[in-house]
Structure 1
Amino acid sequence: MNETALLRPAWTPLTIALMVVGFIVFWPLGLVMLAYIIWGDRLNMNRSEWKRSAGRAFGSCRRSMKDSMRQADDRMSSTGNAAFDEWRRSEMQRIDEERRKLDEMRAEFDRYTDELRKARDREEFDRFMRERNNTGFGGTPAPEA
């Protein structure tokens, strides 16, 4: 982590003050700040990694919420106007299909960015190994064979 950052996961006057204020204002905030101070250095993820891990953690909640909303809509579906009910049902099916397509596109894009990241990591590692093999272990050029 960057040790010059003002708010870093360490016992600094700022983090201690934020933790105390958190406990005074709303005790779970104090606990969150305490957890950040203790385990924050393990949270070395960038924004896209956070989004991906949150998606994995809460994706099932989102799906179950969509299902429960759809079931609630099905229970309250009759308005007394058969034409409107049929139109609304067809629109809901169309919207669900669009949502499914968007979810597939998002998953495809996530796979694409993962592949790009892996390729970049592989390229950096290969470059490191080439430089390491060219210079030897002590920083001096390797002897010619």
Structure 2
Amino acid sequence: MTAASQHYTQPANPGWLRRAEFWLDQRGKPAWIVAMILGFIFFWPIGLALLAYMIWSKRMFGKSCRNRHSHRHAAFQQGFNAMRPSGNVAFDAYKADTLRRLEDEQKSFEDFLQRLREARDKSEFDQFMDERARKARDEREKGEIEEA
């Protein structure tokens, strides 16, 4: 067990304060904030004590109360490990071919999205120009009617 996981496993016979802390940690930062606000509403020293505890224990500014280990770091490590050769030549060839195919599909999909954006931009611009031309024509016709 790591130090972080020991911190978030409930002790065998916790007191009510530890149980409350564990319960709030399981629900995350919003639960701590709601508890602090309710503490300020019912008896302001409780709210102030919760705020001080949240700042002192780094619950206020941390990523998450449940898991202090960065998910981004874990995902980065997992992605990095996926690129390392496995030692099996056939599997590595299959993996390289699959990754190349996925990159080609991603590139063609991004090209497709770009063409869609360009088509949408062109249709919006054409609509703008049509409206502008119609307004100019209407104003010109309106001016001709007033002169007559």
Is the TM-score greater than 0.5? no
TM bin (shorter chain): 0.3 to 0.5
**What is the TM-score normalised by the length of structure 2?**
0.44
Structure ranking higher on relative contact order (CA contacts 8 Å, 6+ apart): 2
Larger radius of gyration: 2
Q: Taking structure 1 as the reference length, what is the TM-score of the superposition?
A: 0.45
